[in-house]
Amino acid sequence: MDFVYLKKKVMEQSKERKIASQSQLKMAQEWATACGYCLTLKDLVSVSVVLTDYIENGWSKELGERLEKVDTYLSQEYKG
């Protein structure tokens, strides 16, 4: 493989990741609003990163544990 092909492949993956990230950021914001959370930007981005990880890599035990931690944190921080 040549450098131009590899660079193009990385750019395509980067573009796909950006699209997934944007989509999950929107979903996280809509979910937070529907659940009555007014998340900080940091927390909103954190939730979207976990969701993007799910989109890219699928379900795993580790992801389930991360989601539980996020859910617990949000419940304590925002509904405590």
What was the pLDDT predicted at 79?
82
Rounded alpha-carbon distances, angstroms, from residue 19 to 35, 52, 53: 24, 10, 13
Tell me which residue has tokens 């949000």.
74
Residue-wise pLDDT tens digits, 56-79: 899 999 999 999 999 999 999 998
Q: Which tokens in the block code for residue 64?
A: 């389930």
Read off the pLDDT band of 38 (50, 70, 90): very high
What's the whole-number average pLDDT of the chain?
89
Q: Where along the chain do its domains lie?
A: 3-79
Output the pTM of the full model: 0.78
Whether the Cβ atoms of residue 39 and residue 47 lie closer than 8 Å to each other? yes
